[in-house]
Amino acid sequence: MTTRTTPEASASAPLLDLQPLVAAVRRRRRLWASLALLGMLGGVALAFLLPPPPTAVTKLLVAHQEDQPNDPGTLIRTDVALLQTTRIAAKALESLKSPDRPEDFMEDYTAAGLTNNVLEITVSADSDDEAVARAEALADAFVADHVRRIREAANAESKALLDQRDRLREDLTQVNKAIGDASSVNGSKGSADMESLFSRRAELTSQIADYGQRAAQAKIGTPHLVAGTQIVDAPRPVRHSLKKTAATDAAFGLALGLALGLAVAAVGSVVADRPVLRRDIAANLGASVIAELPPRSVAPWRRRAARAERTRLTASLARTARGSAEPVSLLELGAVRAVGAIAMDLAAALGEDGPVVVVDGLPGLPLAERRAKPGDPTVVSGDRATAGRYQERAIGVGSVAPGTAWTDLQYLGTRTVLVVRAGHGSAAWLHTVARQLADQHIPVIGVVLVDPDPRDRTDGTLWDGPEPAPRGRNERPPRQNGSERQRTERVPLWAASVPDSDQEAR
């Protein structure tokens, strides 16, 4: 059963159809599979050619004065940033007595905060012993710097509290002097001043004691923080497994190559615009797909099925040729070998009814120059096809690839079967083929699709008959005789509306 593309069907078509893209990408599986394999091999080679350098790791416990249970990790990130400074790097290199520049040494180590108080340092060097020594020097330098900053902060806080206490003591001295001077004054006014001075002295005494206590507590808290900052995991070399590294690099290379291959295949498919599905090829050529032919190289378990499909195709084309009063030709697009084999099989099948001659108009690898076997049909060059018709039944074989002499196709046959390889021609060129054949008044019997997508479930048939007239509810459809079912040849509207490209014009 065939269908016609109507405006209603076009309106109901999906705005974004991914099926052609998926089919085109799946068809180019050799490309992305090769890139994925190349990426995997590159990852394995990278693991062997560029092994990871000797590395040492150590862990530090860092105590902070501002530690809070709900800290989001700001303090440990600050420690990581401080570790990656030239001051810490210079202190570590100074303890190692190394002439390296701090900027260069900073590129050889990294730090990461595991928790709010645990810091991990990873150092790489030319050997395991050097890496361990550098990690230990770097850890000691960071601990010393962290302790120094804690002590400086505690001393600064304690000094500020003591300075405030000293200022309050000076005020207390002035209040005591005022109390001594006011004690010689008698009367109610003197009693009120004495009461105010005593209240002020008691307040200053309390503040002096509080500042002194806070200054002492500031110094008492420093040893706790100093003792809490230490190396909890001594520096040790990291053992690298070559097999594990190779497997990891191979997995990354495989994923990267696969992603790159899929991207290249998808972009290439969109840019090339080469139809793969039956539906698209039939729509662009304006002819239905009447048969499919598997590729030349198939799996061993599918060879029997492939031979059966080729036999059915030959029988179908033979029935078509016997029932046609006009000569039939086979025109290929991207399937030179396939159309030659089909032509020879068809000629052998028609040879049972009488002499058959194959008119070869194929470019390159012509059938006329092949080594003939006993019993093979006669093959003549396509140049002789213009001289006149043959007494025998003729089967023309030609091509509709770019560069075709379109006016010579009518000498190969006035009716044709297109043998098209899926994904070979662009949509614009398929339009060109349909227009040129229509201009030469060569009707297309159908399309033989070579190497189709095995997962294609689209319909490759077209309906070019008249629209059925609307009928009543109980009215039967009118019966048709042979003349009414005769198909009318016409140029597809879409073929006339698509401009030719430069390549098509040539």
State the pTM of this model: 0.59
Residues of the chain with pLDDT > 70: what percent?
80
Residue where one domain finishes, among candidates 218, 239, 260: 239
How high is the pLDDT of residue 386? 52
342 and 421 both lie in a single domain: yes
82 and 70 both lie in a single domain: yes
pLDDT interval class at 439 (50, 70, 90): very high
Contact assessment for residue 324 and residue 415, using Cβ atoms and an 8 Å cutoff: yes
249 and 339 both lie in a single domain: no
pLDDT interval class at 484 (50, 70, 90): very low
How high is the pLDDT of residue 20? 82
Q: What is the mean pLDDT of the chain?
A: 80
How high is the pLDDT of residue 130? 93
Report the domain count for the chain.
3
| Contacts (Cβ under 8 Å, ≥6 apart) of 451 | 293, 294, 295, 335, 421, 422, 423
DSSP 3-state of 276: coil
Q: For residue range 105-149, what is the model confidence (pLDDT) as tens digits?
A: 999 999 999 998 999 999 999 899 999 999 999 999 999 999 988
Q: Which residue has the higher pLDDT, 22 or 86?
A: 86
For residue 81, the enclosing domain spans 55-239
Q: For residue range 320-369, what is the model confidence (pLDDT) as tens digits?
A: 888 887 888 999 998 888 888 888 888 888 888 788 888 888 876 566 55
How high is the pLDDT of residue 143? 93
66 and 198 both lie in a single domain: yes
* Amino acid letter, residue 226: V
pLDDT interval class at 384 (50, 70, 90): low
How high is the pLDDT of residue 93? 93
CA atoms within 13 A of residue 463's CA, in its CB half-sphere: 12
Distances (CA, A) of 464 to 291, 324, 438: 19, 20, 15
Give dist(CA 135, CA 154) in Å, integer: 28
Find the mean pLDDT for residues 279-307: 82
35 and 116 both lie in a single domain: no
